[in-house]
């Protein structure tokens, strides 16, 4: 297959290196130091004690790469707004568009739900730019369950996890999705097909929408967050509010918050990706994790005082550091 990677950060490099190493034609849309490194050294991945070095095509112009069978998008949500309009040369009538991103994507409510009409999420796609550029019938919902770090531009280090969940956002999957799933499985990923991909996305959000932002503005690792009785209680309260939202939009969660936090405890002194972004001075991905769930809650008339407080504190912290735009 011809597969393009948009965003050669840790996750994008992990995906692209394994796909290229399996013999598929991989193109990378990148810029700056990452473009230079990938053009010179290919994508490099440290996996299981070995180094994969996979040559790929790389450019900062989508026109140079041409139409693809699949486009895997692994950029931060706030970067996609400016980038989406540049991806048209990669997208043919049969191209699958796979956003491998954390949080609530722009398309999440575009199909409505039950008695809810289609709802564009202005918190993640304010002017509808992403929706206009990326045709919804060609989008594949995706959830990444893997821990991958960056060792430099175009160089990733796999730490744990190997699972990708794929599914059509609304309605039955088209004929091209099974072929993509089979290809990715042959590349060594653990692939799970889901007919309820929105629920899988919401479940992952439920687990990381608290740890990430709280760690960012406190500087604390996950074990210390959960060891503090008051903060741990606040985490559970936010999770209860997110559960109530999920119940209304077809994303019910039956697990107890305490049980999900117990899984997080097993990670020990874990530094979340958002805390790592703070340390590196990178913009924080607040809208997909917090603003979008709040927007849905407001539309449904669901009170979320704890989620409101968490969003406000995280946003204020990020703005004070220049890591989130001012209102």
Q: What does the block give as tokens for 4?
A: 């393009």
Helices vs strands, H then E, count in the chain: 13, 10
> Nearest-5° angle of CA 208, CA 214, CA 215?
90
169 closest CA partner among 146, 202, 145: 202
Gap between the Cα atoms of 4 and 59, Å rounded: 11
What are the residues whose beta carbons fall under 8 Å from the beta carbon of 4, sequence distance 6 or more?
Answer: 26, 27, 28, 29, 65, 68, 70, 71, 72, 90
Gap between the Cα atoms of 259 and 197, Å rounded: 22
**Residue 204 annotated to the active site:** yes
Catalytic residue among 122, 145, 193, 204: 204
Residue 27 parent element (H or E): strand 25-29
Q: Are 154 and 38 in contact (CB under 8 A)?
A: yes
Active site residues: 204
């Amino acid at each position: 297959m011809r597969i393009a990677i948009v965003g050669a950060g840790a996750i994008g490099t992990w995906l692209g290196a394994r796909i290229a190493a399996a013999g598929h034609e991989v193109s990378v849309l990148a810029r700056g130091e990452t473009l230079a490194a990938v053009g010179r050294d290919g994508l490099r991945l440290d996996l299981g004690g070995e180094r994969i070095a996979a040559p790929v095509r790389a450019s900062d112009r989508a026109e140079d790469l041409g139409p693809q069978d699949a486009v895997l998008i692994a950029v931060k949500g706030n970067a996609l707004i400016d980038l989406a309009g540049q991806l048209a040369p990669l997208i043919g009538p049969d191209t699958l568009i796979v956003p491998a991103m954390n949080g609530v994507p722009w398309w999440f409510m575009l199909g409505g739900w039950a008695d809810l009409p289609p709802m564009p999420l202005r918190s993640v796609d304010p002017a509808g730019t992403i929706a206009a550029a990326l045709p919804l019938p060609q989008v594949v919902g995706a959830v990444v369950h893997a821990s991958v770090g960056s060792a430099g531009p175009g160089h990733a280090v796999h730490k744990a996890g190997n699972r990708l969940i794929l599914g059509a956002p609304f309605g039955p999957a088209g004929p091209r999705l099974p072929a993509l799933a089979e290809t990715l499985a042959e590349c060594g990923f653990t692939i799970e097909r889901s007919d309820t991909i929105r629920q899988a996305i919401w479940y992952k959000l439920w687990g990381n929408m608290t740890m990430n932002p709280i760690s960012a503005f406190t500087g604390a690792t996950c074990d210390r967050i959960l060891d503090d009785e008051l903060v741990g209680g606040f985490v559970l309260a936010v999770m209860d509010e997110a559960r109530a939202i999920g119940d209304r939009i077809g994303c019910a969660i039956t697990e107890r918050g305490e049980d999900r936090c117990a899984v997080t405890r097993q990670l020990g002194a874990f530094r979340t990706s958002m805390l790592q972004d703070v340390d590196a001075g990178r913009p924080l991905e607040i809208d997909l994790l917090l603003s979008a769930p709040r927007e849905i809650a407001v539309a449904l008339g669901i009170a979320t005082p704890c989620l409101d407080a968490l969003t406000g504190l995280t946003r204020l912290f990020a703005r004070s550091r220049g890591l989130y735009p001012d209102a």
